[in-house]
Amino acid sequence: MPFSNVYPLLVQKAERKGRTKEEVDEVIFWLTGYDESGLQAQLNANADLRAFWEQAPRIHENAAQITGVVCGIRVEDIQDPLMQKIRWLDKLVDELAKGKPLEKVLRS
């Protein structure tokens, strides 16, 4: 599945709860190491989820602190590294949409 199909859904999830696209981008930047131009390049290239994560400049060192349940599954228990990264991002956007301050979402 192309990341460009997932990205608008993440933004919509956040915006429905009064958060912004910029905050979603900040979460993506924090987790993946992409910057604005790198994220846009991935979207323009229509990169699939695997390529998006494999080409990420760096996964944040505190990503392992992302815990909790997404779709009934504990993210810290997911064995498949790709699926775990996908769920990490989903969990962070969920927290953002639920009103958590950005500093707490980013494990600052």
pLDDT in tens, 58-89: 999 999 999 999 989 999 999 999 999 999 99
Over residues 26-59, the pLDDT tens digits come to 999 999 999 999 999 999 999 999 999 999 999 9
In a domain, 107, yes or no: no
In a domain, 59, yes or no: yes
Mean pLDDT of 79-100: 96
Per the structure, the complete domain to which residue 58 belongs is given by 3-99
The confidence score (pLDDT) of residue 108 equals 75
The confidence score (pLDDT) of residue 58 equals 97
The confidence score (pLDDT) of residue 53 equals 98
For residues 56 and 70, give the distance between their C-alpha atoms in angstroms, rounded to a whole number.
22
In a domain, 106, yes or no: no
Do the beta carbons of residue 34 and residue 28 sit within 8 Å?
yes
Q: What is the pTM of this model?
A: 0.94
In a domain, 76, yes or no: yes
- Count of positions (residues) in the chain: 108
In a domain, 108, yes or no: no
For residues 101 and 58, give the distance between their C-alpha atoms in angstroms, rounded to a whole number.
23
In a domain, 44, yes or no: yes
In a domain, 28, yes or no: yes
In a domain, 18, yes or no: yes
Domain count, the chain: 1
CATH number for the domain including 23? 1.10.8.290
Do the beta carbons of residue 102 and residue 96 sit within 8 Å?
yes
The confidence score (pLDDT) of residue 47 equals 96
The confidence score (pLDDT) of residue 40 equals 98
